[in-house]
Copies of this chain bind each other. A is one copy, B any other.
Amino acid sequence: MLRGVYAPSDFPPFAVTVDLVVLTVRADALCALLVRRGEAPFLGRWALPGGFVQVAESVDAAAGRELVEETGVAGLHLEQLATYGEPRRDPRMRVVSVAYLALAPDLPVPVAGTDAAAAAWVPVSEVSSLAFDHSRILADGVERARAKLEYSSLGTAFCGGEFTVAELRRVYEIVWGVGLDPRNFHRKVTGVEGFLVPTGGTTSRDGGRPAALYRRGEVGVLSPPLVRSSA
């Protein structure tokens, strides 16, 4: 720590944690991954998954490590959300938390973490008060996801490797809470060059013409953007 070179008051010690807002679309609702705390403070309360950043790893790496630990899946979309550093946000000590937003397709079942008593997918509309300032962080994450759907290909991160236009449209409808015209949505997303890549396959479901399957294209920015509007 090189004590002696700098006065200790120059760099008061902080703990640095990462907190994850992991969102998915399941059961016709936008859901967040929550864990029930197994230790004080806020024992028994729901909280965002997360943990301490280790000495030798980057903050981004810590977030990726926690995400794999909690979901059991690698390769999910992960981006930094914001950093929360109010002095009293953790009653134990001075903790600065770097929050991340992750998007996942409908995963089988949450994995109970080491320090979490239980984990569950909870519809964001039913989330009540979380531990620490996690309600605020969750709200910021949801708003970020809603906003980024408009001008990025983020919506495909909620789908699996192959998906239909209708499945992608359901994602938008559920995340935004609006209805979208199937015809216009189809024309829009298939019209943007490089956004969706047809795989050639088709689905065969109950009743109705089979739909073409697509996978995420290389284009990450939608210009012009999709617009959030009711229908």
Contacts and interface: CB of A to CB of B under 8 A. Distances in A.
Interface of A: 1-2, 5-6, 10-16, 52-60, 80, 82-87, 92-96, 98
22 contacts: A2-B92, A5-B92, A11-B15, A11-B93, A12-B15, A12-B53, A12-B54, A12-B55, A13-B13, A14-B14, A14-B15, A14-B16, A14-B53, A16-B16, A55-B94, A58-B85, A58-B87, A59-B83, A59-B84, A60-B85, A80-B82, A96-B96
Nearest to A59: B85
A221 B87 CA distance: 31
Contact of A12 (B52, B58, B85): B52
Given A14-B96, A60-B85, 7 more contacts: A12-B55, A14-B14, A14-B53, A53-B96, A55-B87, A59-B83, A59-B85
Contacts of A12: 15, 52-55
A133 to B, nearest CB: 11
B56 A83 contact: no
A2 B95 CA distance: 13
Contact of A98 (B2, B53, B85): B85
Contact of A96 (B2, B59, B94): B59
A83 B98 contact: yes
A161 B93 CA distance: 42
A10 B96 CA distance: 14
Nearest to A85: B59
Nearest to A95: B11
A13 B10 contact: no
A14 B52 CA distance: 11
Given A83-B59, A86-B58, A96 B16 contact: yes
Nearest to A54: B12
A199 B12 CA distance: 48
Contact of A87 (B11, B56, B94): B56
Contact of A93 (B2, B95, B98): B2
A150 to B, nearest CB: 9
Nearest to A151: B151
Contacts of A82: 80
